[in-house]
Amino acid sequence: MFEAQAGAGAVLRLIRDAHATTRAQLTLTTGLSRSTLAERVHSLLTLGLVNEVSGPSTGGRPPATLEFNPTAGVVLAAAVSPTFCRVVVSDLGARPVAERSYEGPMMGPGVLQTYLRATLEHAQVPAQRVWAVGIGVDAEHEPLLREDLPVLGDAPVLVDRRVNLRALAEQWTRRQAVDHLLYVSVGTSIDCGIVADGRVHHGARGTAGELGHIGVPGHADVPCACGNTGCLEAVVGGRALVERLQAAGREVATPEGVVALVHAGDPEAVRAVREAGRAVGEVLAACVNFYNPGAIVLGGELAAASEPLLAGLRGTAFTRSLPMATRDLIVTATRLGEAAETTGAAVMAIEHVLAEASVNRLVHRRDNGH
Ligand SMILES: [Zn+2]
């Protein structure tokens, strides 16, 4: 191997991804000597991150396999909206162990901290067992939260935008098949979360994914809240659809109302949503050519009207993209529901604490008796 010797973190990664699960496979893959590999495995066994499972006793004694043990610790995951907060205690495999929801304004000093502790108490999990905390928040509330970050012992606290965590959750559920994914939220606002190689892509200033403010040709007369004109969100976002349908005489006030009209078979609403899908698809076609994602997942209030939205989107996104870029491209509506944000927050926390360097540090601390 050209790089430095594989540490315990790298060995854990191979076991977690099921790329190598016996000592023989791990020796071969890492290039470590058998004795060094045995040391790495011993450290992981001691930390409880790995279990050794002997093969079935009948016939030929197959070698014992090493399995990741997601119950070695827990992470706390929270999704914070202006009026609602969901907190989940999750194992290291992003499976929820306990969950609580809280209503009311979230951003007062220490409120989130209170909710985190209350959820732990409810789950009867001592705070020392929490390896990390992941929090999803709206872009506009992020600075507020960062001023008043909850503290839970030594556990690192990670914060990201909710749309990014939804993208991360979508990729996590497809992690055997898809490394690069776009999550597109179509509702009152149009946002996008980008996952590249299994990680959220934030950009230089954290504004990557502002799909809603990409200009749509032919709409220079439509003003957008951002100060520009002809933005995708201003042309076909939830508010624009509501106004269009109101002008056509429909009684509708919200994107959810638009979805209800679509489900009732209102032809004007179906047409409006399909056209919105087409416009989103035109912008996404450029993204597909530029970024070559393996999957595009649609969410947001209007995704509940997924049939006409997806039809419009597929129509343009596929015809206007390079065939090579769309050969295996998955375009689908989300099926994750409300749990997506806390799942993404849990994944963010888990990937932080189980990153190679973090695991190597854990092993080092344990070896040195801390
Ligand atoms: Zn705009």
Tens digits of per-residue pLDDT, 290-301? 999 999 999 999
Element counts in the chain: helices (H) and strands (E)? 14, 12
Q: Average pLDDT of 117-131?
A: 94
In whole angstroms, what is the distance from residue 273 CA to residue 207 CA?
Answer: 27
Identify the bridge partners of residue 90 per DSSP, sorted by sequence position.
75, 96
pLDDT band, very low/low/confident/very high, at 49 (cuts 50, 70, 90): very high
Compute, in angstroms, the gap from residue 212 CA to the centroid of ligand 1.
Answer: 6
Compute, in angstroms, the gap from residue 201 CA to the centroid of ligand 1.
Answer: 21
pLDDT at 236 over 70: yes
Compute, in angstroms, the gap from residue 237 CA to the centroid of ligand 1.
Answer: 11
Could you tell me which residue, 27 or 338, shows the higher pLDDT? 27
Compute, in angstroms, the gap from residue 217 CA to the centroid of ligand 1.
Answer: 13
Instruction: Give the least confident one: 1-10, 77-86, 267-276.
Output: 1-10
For residues 20 and 26, the answer to whether their CB atoms sit within 8 Å is yes
Compute, in angstroms, the gap from residue 352 CA to the centroid of ligand 1.
Answer: 33
Compute, in angstroms, the gap from residue 46 CA to the centroid of ligand 1.
Answer: 53
Identify the bridge partners of residue 103 per DSSP, sorted by sequence position.
84
Q: How would you list the strands of the sheet with 330-333, edge to edge? A: 199-200, 190-196, 181-186, 295-299, 330-333
Compute, in angstroms, the gap from residue 233 CA to the centroid of ligand 1.
Answer: 7
Q: Which of 40, 15, 3, 81 is nearest to 340 (CA)?
A: 81
Compute, in angstroms, the gap from residue 183 CA to the centroid of ligand 1.
Answer: 19
Residues 6+ positions from 91 with CB-CB distance below 8 Å: 70, 71, 73, 74, 97
DSSP annotation of 217 reads T
Compute, in angstroms, the gap from residue 226 CA to the centroid of ligand 1.
Answer: 4
In whole angstroms, what is the distance from residue 197 CA to residue 178 CA?
Answer: 9
For residues 88 and 342, the answer to whether their CB atoms sit within 8 Å is yes
Compute, in angstroms, the gap from residue 232 CA to the centroid of ligand 1.
Answer: 7
Compute, in angstroms, the gap from residue 151 CA to the centroid of ligand 1.
Answer: 36
Compute, in angstroms, the gap from residue 235 CA to the centroid of ligand 1.
Answer: 10
pLDDT tens digits, residue range 347-356? 999 999 999 9
Q: Average pLDDT of 99-108?
A: 82
DSSP annotation of 359 reads H
Phi, psi of 272 (to 5 degrees): -60, -45
Query: Which domains does the chain show, CATH number per domain?
Result: 8-68 (1.10.10.10), 72-155+340-352 (3.30.420.40), 168-335 (3.30.420.40)
Compute, in angstroms, the gap from residue 164 CA to the centroid of ligand 1.
Answer: 19
Residue 26: both structure tokens together: 């791990």
pLDDT band, very low/low/confident/very high, at 1 (cuts 50, 70, 90): very low
